[in-house]
Amino acid sequence: MQTKLNAAQMPVGSCKPVLYAVLHLSVVVLYNMHSSFLLHSWWVTSVFNTEALKHFQSRLTEFEQEEIMDYSEIWYMGLESKKIESAIGTPQNSGYDDEHGSYNKVLHDHIAYRFEILEVIGKGSFGQVLKCLDHKTNELIAVKIIRNKKRFHHQALVELKILDAVRRKDKDNCYNVIHMKEYFYFRNHLCISFELLGLNLYELIKKNNFQGFSLALIRRFAQSLVKCLQMLNREKIIHCDLKPENILLSQKGQGNIKVVDFGSSCYEHQRVYTYIQSRFYRSPEVILGHSYGMSIDMWSLGCILAELYTGYPLFPGESEVEQIACIMEVLGMPEAEFVQTASRRKLFFDSKGNPRNITNSKGKKRRPNSKDLASVLKTNDALFIDFLKCCLM
């Protein structure tokens, strides 16, 4: 089968050009033997992959020379990148993975003969997120590459199901949530492409020298986040990892944000994990091992809004034991029944139900009910405090 190559995305050069005509397309392409950049042609969308192989075989690895024939459309080949010299059947996914199953990215190489890798913009246990140029649409996007391991692939399939449901429910793009563009497999990795967004809220706090923001701006953020959570609630979806790093500025202007990273998310009736949520934003029921529901995202929301106001985490525990101590320091002891029925209570409470005393790295001990929310936040705004208390119930 003949596959088409996007001549517009082949690199352009200036010396010793060699002209050749591409069958079926009536376009003249300028090729430079030194830089291997090809001239952009406004009216061309693609050329046949057999032609690409004919003219660029020496610039592709042996692996790619076989792989390229599996693609129905070819838009970009990364000819100038320092390609991995792989061989089919060699260890670690033919040399394309590291020892942990993460994809060995090469800047300016291709993904699926379409996307040009520009930089890494995120990493996690799941794999990595790359900023890429989509040579088919000529737009910048984000591509999430899932680790080539069974358990991460399984969770990514759940993520795909949720992303698809969210996209269908947010056709008008009004619920402040990330939109998946498409998904595909490349070199045994599941890849998901997304719209490219701006800074996350932690980066914004840091850029503001951890000073905190005005209540007016926080109110705008809160309204956007509540609108997102209302939609997720209707769909019975728990985000499970709401935090400033997973809330990104959108391109619309100040105060416009989108919730991202549904990699830990689940449906309320299909809860997958017990160890969820980043520590500072982890709800008491998750810490203590209770059954959890969509309310854990509201807990995270309260923690986030407080942090946006002060510039620092509301409950900055160094461990889970100190995390629950931080919470009790401000909100007091949980009800006795809540403690006694918790599957992980022995990690945090003694046989009489008293908190286990610990000293953190700064030599500080935390005592239940020794602080109140207003003094921690250093505000007397009753409505703001009341809203946070509702989130943290």
Which residues are annotated as catalytic?
A: 241
As a whole number of angstroms, the distance between CA 358 and CA 366 comes to 8
Q: Angle at the Cα of 283 (from 278 to 285), degrees rounded to 5?
A: 125
Q: What are phi and psi of 245, to 5 degrees?
A: -65, -20
Integer CA distances (angstroms), 392 to 136, 275, 283, 341, 387, in order: 46, 19, 8, 20, 9
What the block records as the tokens of 52 is 């690409």
Integer CA distances (angstroms), 213 to 173, 218, 223, in order: 26, 7, 15
Sign of the dihedral through C-alpha 37, 39, 41, 47: negative
Q: Which helix (H) or strand (E) holds 140?
A: strand 139-146
Tell me: is residue 144 an annotated ligand-binding position: yes
Q: Angle at the Cα of 138 (from 159 to 15), degrees rounded to 5?
A: 135
As a whole number of angstroms, the distance between CA 294 and CA 269 comes to 11
As a whole number of angstroms, the distance between CA 347 and CA 309 comes to 32
Residues annotated within the binding site are 144
